[in-house]
Chain A
Amino acid sequence: MATRLLIAEDEPSILESLVFILGREGYSIATARDGREALECLKTHGAPGLLILDVMLPAVSGFEVLKAVRTEPELEAVPVLMLTAKGQARDRQMAEQMGANAFIAKPFSNQDVVQAVRRLAAP
């Protein structure tokens, strides 16, 4: 069975492109439009093979979701890839401190995203 990814991204066009390029790699993909939806999805479907988190999510921000994941024993080991459009060093530092496994600034190259995802979770 294909490795399951959860992508939390509020921007529909970006979400669509992510779903397309990673679906093409053979991953099974669930999506969430904001932080709250992402947390609910994690609760109902358990740990995914990888979590892709946008930093600026509505309702519950990406960092808050990351914090919740890292303090939950069942989810602790889930690899997390963070995306941000702010591109500031502060966000990158914070993501590393909070236990994100990779960090990619927008706009990203598809190749970078695919490589990072592959490194963190084989399809």
Chain B
Amino acid sequence: MTPAIEFALVAALAYAALLFALAWWVDRRSRQDGGLPWLRTALVYTLSISIYCTSWTFYGAVGSAARGGLEFATIYLGPTLMFVGWWLLLRKLVRIGRLHHITSIADLISSRFGKSEALGALVTVIAVAAATPYIALQLKAVTTSYQVITGASLESVDFRAGFWVAVGMAAFTILFGTRSLDVNERHHGVVAAIALEALVKLCALVAVGVFVVFALFDGPGDLFAHAPPGFLHAEEVFGPRWITLIFLSAAAVICLPRQFQVVVVENENERHLATASWLFPAYLFLMSVFTLPIAIAGLTLMPAGADPDMFVLTLPLVAEKEALALLAFLGGFSSATSMIIVASIALSTMVSNHIVAPLALRLSRNRTRTSGDVRRLLLTTRRIAIATLILLGFLYFRVSAQSGALAAIGLIAFVGVAQVLPSLIGGLFWPQANARGAVWGLTAGFVIWMYALGLPSLEDGGPLGADILAEGPFGLAVLRPQALFGLDGLDPLVHATFWSLTINTVLFVIGSLTREPRPLEWVQARQFVDVFRGGAAIGPDSGRPRFHRTATSEELYILAQRILGAAPAHELFDTFARRQGLAQGLPLPTQELVEDLERRLAGSVGAASARAMMAQVAGGEEVSIDELVSIADETARIMRYSQALERKSTELETTARQLREANEQLREIDRQKDDFLGQVSHEIRTPMTAIRSFSEILRSSDDLESAQARRFVAIIHDESLRLTRLLDVILDMRVVEKGEIPINLEPLDPDAVLDHALQTCEGLRGTAPVTVTQGARAGTARVAADPDRLRQVFINLLSNAVRHTDKDAILIRVESRIEAGAYEAVISDNGPGVPEADRERVFSLFSATWTRAGEKGAGLGLAISRGIMRRMGGDLMLDVGAPREEGARFRVTLALTADDPPP
């Protein structure tokens, strides 16, 4: 034996010591300020999920590949499909787990189906039954690998290694896994240790794989050339067994208690799941990529009869790479120990919360409520449960050491925990599902599993004898364990999976349909199924059936102390007292306090026990349908009320906004009025100034030439005419405002009026030369209009176009046409156009925005023109479609009259 091999025991011990030290250090550090941020990362979360890869995967996958070719891949494909494809299911699980303080998969099922104690216990029994052989499997792997690496004979099993590993793991788990009763408080030391182990096993397997492919062979090509014929068993790919195995491993990655523990219970951040959904499959890929090469190398290089389950270890040993062999041994050791640690934590929680706690509650019911410390009882229970479970695993290992390949036991466990799947999926997506269906389905599935798979796995049919396998119980062939109901010739695993899950599901559905959900079931169902909708909005606790009698604060406080411990209970009640504004003493036992306390208790002892404890203090918890209906009514009433309030406040808001807007409009009108008055004042004062000034000149000067005097008089005359016109405009405006403008309709050709207006405007002069271009014209059209008013409108538009254009060359374009039974004239210019915001304001009476300083005219034209057009049954519009660069485009429309001229 080489020194390195002798070193194996020391290495294992040192490695174990390292795990202890790491866990101890992390536990201590994480309680200090800030903790250890890297512990809360998605990477560590993913690494902890990788406890899925146990020693069965580490050693057994190669064995499986050596015996069954590609079949080993199913164990990786299932979880990959689950994490990639069913990511939403996982997210729902994690969300529910966090909202409801779920402590285990048993707690989830129990909580979903009305906090049923029976269901919690049932799932716990199934989980323990499935996990005990699984723990045995790990101990066996460690023992065998230790014997292999120390070169001991495999003829007899040396149980010492397995025993000491069991003791060590029990000690580790008790030390670091049961520090707190609250399961949602993460086990940092444990998480750090299993994250390290996840890395060790990955490195070890990859190292062995690389060694095999590139040192023992010349790369993958060379290696696969040595594969025995038919090695891959390609014909079985996606056969019934394949599909079954993929399905089972997909179910296992959430239903196994330890997987549920790391994926749901220990999850701290939902977003970590998003990372895990690709990182975990990537981890699985790395773990599996060298499986085939190692199997081929083992089959090629190892003597016939060598145990394929140990190729990972024996290949480096045969090649005399002791260090690599040691690493592989530690990798297998890591795989086994991390599984044992997490599985025993998860199972001990289930045992203490769903078996011991309900029993303790039953027993203590007759005694005084304050006696005993439930907290210590439960923690002690968990510690004992851990030791017992691991010891059970060890005993199972002792009893069944010589039978069965590693992989077989693993798969049996998978089928066992898969029995939870119908209740789990149904519970998450089917509101109708109830406890009766879950109990029926789980019980039937469990029994069939034990009978069809567990029994045959025992030597000679176990206590019932070997005959039962061949002939069925009492000679009833139809009940043969491996050929139930005449279904013969199937692979035993496929057979057992098919029958157990089919009957499980059918009974689950029938049970759920034959009974109405109880009130608490109904409430829980809605919160689980609709966790992303109503669940979150309603909150996990509102609308929950209440207790008949409210407990006193003292009773609640004592209960809190018993479960949460003195300090946290004190803190919780202090917080509530402060929130209620009490300086000292206990808070009032409000519904809020009761609900919060129950939620906290649920995090420690599970939903069902928490409910039962609260019921004990707070009085009977049976809630009738009537009561639930009244609660629902009340909820509906409150919702209606709040909706009404919401409507009211919306209305108020609308009214306030309308008032604000009206006020704003008034202010704007006021401002426009001021502007308008200023404008009118200017328009009146200007001619008056000239009139006054010249009349003063005429009055005070005797020496004026007569020509000069005549000119001054003429100016005075012109300016007084101007004043008169202005007065007319203002009066017109008043008339338009009152709708009293006199309009004399007569049949006419509007184009003729337009031409007349153009002639009138020929003398128009702006600051630059004016060019009027004629576009297409309508020709002869017949409308009913007042020719003077229509001409006034055209002139107004044309003079506006001249006034508002400040280009060096003023271009005015005039066109007209018949469009949709109406005459349409468009007058456009090349000026600055009308700003978007002023499009409607240019038509308002007081608008002065569109007249600039120094411009003549009171800014009344457009308002009056539009009023005139509308009175004649037409309209005046500003083309909205016109881009600003094109200037302003005004459109005059008039409805065509019938061909017959009006009488």
Contact = CB atoms under 8 A, between A and B. Distances in A.
Interface of A: 10-11, 13-14, 16-18, 20-21, 34, 56-59, 61, 85-88, 105-111
B718 interface: yes
B contacts with A: majority SS: helix
B853 A107 contact: no
B549 to A, nearest CB: 78
Given A106-B689, A107-B689, 18 more contacts: A11-B686, A13-B718, A17-B690, A21-B697, A56-B853, A57-B853, A58-B853, A58-B854, A61-B854, A85-B685, A85-B686, A85-B689, A86-B682, A87-B685, A107-B685, A107-B688, A107-B693, A110-B697
B692 A109 contact: yes
B682 A56 contact: yes
A110 to B, nearest CB: 5
B672 to A, nearest CB: 16
B711 to A, nearest CB: 9
B681 A110 contact: no
B693 A110 contact: yes
Contacts of A59: 854
A88 B687 CA distance: 17
Instruction: Give the interface residue-count category, chain B.
Output: 20 to 34
B33 interface: no
B719 interface: yes
B678 interface: yes
B696 A16 contact: no
Contacts of B688: 106-107
A108 B689 contact: yes
B89 to A, nearest CB: 74
Contacts of A34: 854
Contacts of B691: 107
Given A57-B854, A58-B854, A109-B696, A86 B678 contact: yes
Contacts of B855: 58
Contacts of B853: 56-58, 61
25 contacts: A11-B686, A13-B694, A13-B715, A13-B718, A17-B694, A17-B697, A34-B854, A56-B853, A56-B854, A58-B853, A58-B855, A59-B854, A61-B853, A85-B685, A85-B686, A86-B678, A86-B681, A86-B682, A106-B685, A107-B688, A107-B693, A109-B696, A110-B693, A110-B700, A111-B696
A9 to B, nearest CB: 10
Interface string B315-331: 00000000000000000
B686 A106 contact: yes
Contacts of A87: 681, 685
B440 to A, nearest CB: 91
Contacts of B700: 110
A65 to B, nearest CB: 12
Nearest to A111: B696
B857 to A, nearest CB: 13
A10 B767 CA distance: 13
A105 B685 CA distance: 9
Q: Which of B685, B719, B852 has the most CB of A within 10 A?
A: B685
A59 B853 CA distance: 8
Nearest to A17: B693
Nearest to B683: A85
* 4 smallest beta-carbon distances between A and B, as pairs: A58-B854, A13-B690, A17-B693, A85-B685
A92 B715 CA distance: 28
Contacts of B686: 11, 14, 85, 106
Contacts of B678: 86, 88
A112 to B, nearest CB: 10
Nearest to A15: B690
Nearest to A59: B854
Interface-centre pick from A58, A61, A111 (highest chain B CB count, 10 A): A58
Interface string B820-853: 0000000000000000000000000000000011
Contacts of A106: 685-686, 688-689
Given A13-B719, A56-B854, A87-B681, A20 B689 contact: no
Contacts of B715: 13, 16
Contact of B690 (A14, A58, A86, A109): A14
Nearest to B718: A13
B681 A107 contact: no
